[in-house]
């Protein structure tokens, strides 16, 4: 039996939770949908508990940089100990430590599923999630030094995560040629679910028969997830935001963003947006992205609507 770690990597608000729910439902043995508050596909890479537990000593008195030095070994060790395939969410960019080691070493990686979403839609969702203005979210997405939990005056139950800018985040993972990876766009998950999720299931070595995929997808439509959240809340929601499962819509930016905001995002991220089909040949944003050309990424498998 295969064993190791699949990383479910993405910039925040790019479909990671939806993907985890799909995996949980696909793996689930029950007929009923997985409870969104019982969603456990594996600890997030930045979870303090995971690191602390493997190390066997307290990291509560270590600096962010010191903790980062320990993380690659923890992941490698965990991957070696895994008795089956594990699916761990990660929001960190694919970064290199000061000593040249990768935060996520190749030998801790069975595979990476990288999810990306049009940054024009990410900005809206990220602003809701962070309870900040859309302009602030756009600032954060263009900040090459942006990190979650990077403060030095306390240590949360989440470790510091370097997100970098949205473009840097995408490039860091997509161009990491040393690891086995599949890149999937959120828009293809929405617009071409069967094709896209079947490809994902195959890559993640999960059930790929049509019935299983269809049922798993039915259990996690945005409407059903909203209903579950309405009924019993969602523990992964930020306290400051009204709800987690909001619209999940492709192209919300057309109605929500100002022309200035659209231009800012396009200017900040034009190269990566162009590369992943989010701009037309004139550099204008597209609601439904173009099919990706294979040469957009160095050698990984790529699930597009194909």
Partner 1 sequence: MYSYQAFGLAISSEIELPQLIPVNTSDDLSVDVTIEYGKIDKNGLKDPTSKDLYCQSTINHLWLHVPEVAWFEVMNGNKIVVMAETGADLQSIRLFLLGSCMGCILHQRHYLVMHANTIRFGNQCVMFAGASGNGKSTLAAAFHQRGQQILADDVSAINKQGDVTPSYPQIKLWHDAIKQLGIGFSGLNKIRLQVEKYAYPLSDTCFCQQPLPLSAIYLLSSHNEDEFLMEPINGFKKFNPIKNNTYRPKYIKGLELQSVHLKQVGQLAKRIRVTRITRPNRSFQIERLIDFILEDMQSHGMAV
Which residues of this chain interact with partner 1, rule CB under 8 A? Answer: 48-49, 52-58, 60-63, 66, 69-70, 73-74, 77, 151-157, 233, 235, 237-240
Between 240 and 271, CB nearer to partner 1: 240
> Closest separation between CB of residue 221 and partner 1, Å?
23
Residue pair 275/290 in contact (Cβ under 8 Å)? The answer is no
- Give the DSSP letter of residue 237: S
Between 49 and 306, CB nearer to partner 1: 49
Between 74 and 103, CB nearer to partner 1: 74
Pairing of strands 4-10, 161-162: unpaired
Between 152 and 295, CB nearer to partner 1: 152
> Closest separation between CB of residue 60 and partner 1, Å?
6
> Closest separation between CB of residue 42 and partner 1, Å?
17
Residue ranges of alpha helices (H) inside 92-164 are: 119-130, 134-142
What letters, b where the CB count within 10 A reaches 16 and e where it falls short, cover 178-188?
ebbbbbbbbbb
> Closest separation between CB of residue 223 and partner 1, Å?
22
> Closest separation between CB of residue 150 and partner 1, Å?
13
Between 20 and 219, CB nearer to partner 1: 20
- Reference 44, options 3, 91, 84; nearest CA is 91
> Closest separation between CB of residue 63 and partner 1, Å?
5
Between 63 and 298, CB nearer to partner 1: 63
Query: Residue 231, SS3?
Result: helix
Cα 129 to Cα 148: distance, rounded to the nearest angstrom? 13
**Beta-carbon contacts of residue 164 (< 8 Å; ≥ 6 apart):** 93, 95, 144, 145, 146, 172
**E strand or H helix that includes residue 255:** helix 253-256
């Amino acid at each position: 039996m295969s064993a190791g770690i699949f990383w479910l990597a993405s910039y925040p608000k790019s479909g990671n939770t939806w993907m985890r729910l799909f995996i949980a439902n696909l793996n689930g043995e029950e007929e009923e949908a997985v409870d969104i508050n019982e969603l456990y596909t594996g600890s997030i890479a930045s979870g303090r508990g995971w690191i602390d537990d493997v190390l066997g000593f307290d990291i509560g008195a270590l600096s962010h940089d010191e903790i980062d030095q320990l993380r690659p070994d923890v992941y490698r060790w965990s991957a070696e100990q895994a008795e089956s395939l594990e699916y761990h969410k990660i929001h960190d960019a694919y970064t290199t430590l000061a000593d040249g080691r990768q935060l996520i070493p190749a030998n801790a990686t069975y595979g990476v599923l990288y999810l990306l979403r049009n940054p024009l839609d990410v900005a809206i969702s990220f602003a809701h999630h962070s309870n900040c203005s859309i302009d602030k979210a756009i600032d954060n997405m263009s900040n090459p030094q942006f990190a979650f939990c990077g403060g030095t005056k306390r240590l949360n139950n989440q470790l510091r995560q370097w997100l970098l800018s949205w473009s840097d985040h995408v490039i860091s993972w997509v161009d990491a040629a040393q690891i086995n990876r599949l890149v999937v766009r959120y828009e293809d998950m929405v617009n071409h679910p069967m094709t896209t999720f079947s490809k994902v299931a195959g890559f993640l070595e999960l059930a790929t028969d049509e019935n299983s995929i269809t049922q798993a997808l039915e259990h996690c439509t945005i409407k059903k997830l909203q209903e579950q959240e309405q009924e019993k809340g969602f523990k992964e929601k930020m306290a400051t935001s009204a709800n987690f499962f909001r619209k999940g819509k492709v192209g919300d930016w057309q109605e929500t963003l100002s022309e200035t905001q659209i231009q800012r995002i396009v200017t900040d991220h034009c190269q990566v947006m162009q590369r992943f089909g989010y701009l037309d040949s004139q550099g204008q944003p597209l609601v439904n992205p173009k099919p990706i050309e294979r040469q957009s990424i160095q050698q990984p498998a790529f699930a597009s609507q194909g």
